[in-house]
């Protein structure tokens, strides 16, 4: 997986692969040494205690296999084409539920962390005192929440600390920036019903609008791959970009689950713009000459540079601070004309207030504008919302042919991740096929073994429904991990069938029926051990564990359902493959007979 997501997911295979390699060594070298010390009883009546109970349980389990599974398997083998059609129909329906948006899919589920952060951005140049006063409003709302979410029995608040900083927000610095953060008690140690997400939303409502703020964002999620909605428009005209951005923001405001709508165009810093007047042009002045003289008077002209030890001291000459604070002093400033005359600035130039951009962003030579928004993912179907937004933007840009757009933020990360996964899954499946073809000595049987891979999706989706969680990118990674486990179960059956049919000469149908009954317990145990190994992660309530729960659900529930699929679908697929082979053999025989007769 490329990009930022690849760096996040890299530790997972880095841990799993060495564990699997060590388990292979353990099963081939260490386990046989342990097994040789086991004392087996030739007759069940010789066992006592736990071994006797174990024998009774095993016998009862075998009887249930013969009573329930064997008749079901024979029925499916007799109706093998209907069986495959039924499984395929269920798989297609579930895939369509995801594609249509009925079953929600998001890149990353909005997982509440253990901190809530409010980031305030005022226009560039806002005095420190003004920004601090607005930050105090955020702190006051946080103090109200701290008192509200207090356990009445212990008197301890679920909000442990409230941190405030003015003049910086993350990696950016400036008097127009502020950030307030609330730290809460870890999820597993909370003594009252408390949700960081709900608290964050309430914090937003208590704070209300802040006059003059360019943006104010409230974040409480454990992880963000970017803004859920991020349209990046590019063009040559800043005015056209601004017009497109305003229309898109108005449209986004019509969706109830969309909030914190903003764009990347800052209001800029207030400034005085100097323009050359006709009188100034007549005396031979240019705008650049006037601006340079004003800059020297107000910012300073270096008159001397002194080296004092290791320090470099620069002496600047400029107006006193009292004369640099009023527009009247600027108008009365004397400007030197080319002929040496000193003329007041008001006589050769006009001064008007305005705003200058704090930054200009270009990509490939084009100016860009990002329109971003956050989404309530719990109550919004992202698939349907994004499809509707793309249709609207495509229609809108028909009026602005000079403007183009791409999706950034979370959608760009999703496209990047899925692009890598598509390429990787092809390589993985080809490698699995090659590894299966060698020991099975067949080109068809590896396909039969791998045919159950797509059907693991059924169990994974049903598992997400049962657990009440949304499908995410981690769910997809869980399905990829499920591939190897499902193949292991299938390989157990196919290998036994080959032993009975190829080596022992048993009839194929009999060998298939016998394989399902004899290998039922190993297949089931392989799946159950995997599922129970994932239970601690499924039941973990810590905030950090919630990030990996979708992957565990896909793998755990997928393997349970895939077990039943393996025990039914692999035998039916083998018989269908034999039917096809027999059909072509008969056709070839007929052709040969016809040729011989002629």
One domain for residues 579 and 453: yes
Whether 493 is covered by a domain: the verdict is yes
In the numeric block, the tokens 């999820």 are attached to: 187
Q: Read off the CATH number of the domain in which 545 is found.
A: 1.20.1640.10
Q: How many domains does the chain have?
A: 4
Looking at residue 85, what is its pLDDT? 92
Distance of CA 385 to the CA centre of its chain: 17
What is the secondary structure of 498-516 as a DSSP string?
HIIIIIS---HHHHHHHHH
Which of 536, 439, 437, 425 has its CA nearest to residue 483? 425
The answer on 423 and 291 residing in a single domain is no
Collapsing DSSP states into helix, strand and coil, what is residue 204? helix
- One domain for residues 351 and 430: no
Residue 41 is classified by DSSP as P
What tokens appear for 437 in the block?
């073809």
pLDDT at residue 322, as a whole number: 81
Residues 238 and 320 in one domain: no
pLDDT of residue 82: 92
Go through 138-151 and write b for each residue having 16 or more CB atoms within 10 A of its CB, e for each that does not. Answer: bbebbeebbeebee
Cα(first)–Cα(last) distance of the chain, in Å? 61
| Structure tokens that stand for 199 in this block | 């608290």
CA distances 239 to 66, 232, 244, 263, 367, Å, are 77, 15, 9, 14, 11
- Same structural domain for residues 124 and 85? no
Same domain, 352 and 374: no
Mean pLDDT by 10 residues, the chain (598 residues): 70 83 84 76 59 77 85 90 90 84 73 81 83 90 89 86 84 83 84 82 87 82 76 87 89 86 73 85 87 87 84 86 82 86 87 73 85 82 85 90 87 79 82 86 85 84 85 82 80 84 82 86 83 82 75 86 84 89 85 77
Same domain, 448 and 562: yes
CB 513 within 8 A of CB 571: yes
Say how far apart CA 400 and CA 403 lie, in whole Å. 6
The Cα 598–Cα 266 span in angstroms is 88
Residues 342, 232 within the same domain: no
Tell me, yes or no, whether 287 lies in a domain: yes
Tell me, yes or no, whether 508 lies in a domain: yes
Report angle CA 337, 338, 344 to the nearest 5 degrees: 0
In a domain, 243, yes or no: yes
| 505 and 540 fall within a common domain | yes
Among 374, 408, 442, the domain boundary falls at: 408
Neighbours of 243 (CB within 10 A): 14
Same-domain check for residues 336 and 430: no
Clarify whether residues 526 and 553 are in a common domain: yes
How does strand 159-169 pair with strand 112-121? unpaired
Predicted pLDDT at 435: 86
Residues 120 and 158 in one domain: yes
CA distance 361 to 440: 59
Q: What is the pLDDT of residue 407?
A: 87
Domain containing residue 328: 269-356
């Amino acid at each position: 997986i490329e990009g930022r997501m690849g760096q996040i997911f890299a530790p997972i295979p880095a841990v799993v692969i060495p564990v699997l390699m060590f388990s292979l060594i353990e099963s081939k070298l260490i386990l046989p040494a342990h097994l040789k010390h086991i004392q087996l009883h030739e007759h069940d009546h010789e066992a006592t205690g736990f071994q006797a109970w174990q024998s009774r349980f095993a016998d009862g389990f075998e009887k249930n296999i013969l009573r329930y599974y064997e008749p079901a398997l024979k029925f499916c083998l007799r109706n093998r084409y209907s069986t495959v059609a039924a499984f395929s129909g269920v798989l297609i329906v579930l895939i369509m539920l995801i594609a249509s948006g009925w079953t929600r899919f998001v890149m990353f589920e909005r997982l509440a962390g253990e901190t809530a952060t409010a980031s305030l951005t005022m226009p560039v140049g806002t005095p420190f005192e003004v920004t601090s006063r607005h930050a105090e409003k955020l702190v006051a709302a946080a103090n109200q929440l701290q008192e509200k979410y207090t356990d009445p029995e212990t008197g301890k608040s679920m909000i442990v600390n409230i941190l405030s900083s003015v003049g910086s927000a993350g990696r950016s610095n400036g008097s127009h920036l502020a950030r307030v953060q609330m730290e809460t008690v870890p999820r597993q140690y909370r003594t009252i019903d408390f949700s960081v997400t709900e608290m964050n939303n309430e914090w937003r409502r208590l704070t209300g609008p802040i006059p003059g703020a360019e943006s104010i964002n409230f974040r409480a999620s454990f992880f963000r791959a970017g803004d859920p909605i991020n349209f990046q428009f590019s063009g040559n005209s800043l005015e056209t970009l601004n017009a497109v951005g305003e229309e898109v923001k108005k449209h986004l405001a019509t969706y109830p689950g969309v909030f914190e709508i903003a764009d990347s165009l800052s209001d800029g810093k207030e400034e005085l713009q100097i323009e050359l007047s006709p009188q100034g042009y007549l005396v031979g002045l240019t705008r650049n000459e006037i601006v340079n003289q004003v800059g020297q008077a107000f910012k300073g002209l270096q008159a001397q540079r002194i080296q004092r030890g290791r320090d470099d001291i620069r002496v600047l000459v400029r107006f006193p601070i009292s004369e640099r604070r009023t527009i009247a002093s600027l108008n009365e400033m004397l400007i030197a004309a080319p002929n040496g005359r000193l003329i007041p600035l008001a006589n050769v130039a006009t001064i008007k207030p305005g705003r200058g951009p704090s930054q200009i962003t270009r990509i490939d030579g084009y100016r860009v504008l990002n329109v971003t928004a956050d989404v309530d993912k719990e109550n919004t179907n992202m698939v349907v919302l994004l499809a509707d937004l793309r249709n609207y933007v495509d229609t809108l840009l028909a009026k602005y042919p000079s403007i183009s757009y791409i999706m950034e933020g979370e959608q760009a990360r999703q496209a990047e991740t899925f692009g890598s996964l598509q390429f990787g899954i092809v390589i993985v499946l080809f490698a699995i096929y090659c590894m299966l073809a060698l020991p099975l000595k067949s080109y068809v049987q590896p396909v039969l073994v791998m045919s159950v891979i797509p059907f693991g999706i059924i169990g994974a989706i049903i598992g997400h429904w049962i657990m009440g969680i949304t499908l995410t990118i981690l769910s997809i990674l869980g399905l990829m991990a499920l591939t190897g486990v499902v193949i292991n179960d299938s390989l157990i059956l196919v290998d036994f069938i080959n032993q009975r049919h190829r080596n022992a000469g048993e009839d194929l149908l009999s060998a298939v029926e016998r394989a399902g009954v004899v290998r039922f317990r190993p297949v089931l145990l392989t799946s159950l051990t995997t599922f129970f190994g994932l239970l601690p992660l499924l039941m973990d309530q810590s905030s950090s564990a919630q990030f990996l729960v979708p992957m565990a659900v896909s793998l755990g529930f997928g393997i349970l359902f895939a077990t039943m699929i393996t025990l039914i679908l692999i035998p039916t697929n083998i018989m269908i493959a034999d039917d096809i082979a027999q059909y072509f053999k008969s056709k070839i025989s007929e052709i040969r007979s016809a040729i011989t007769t002629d």
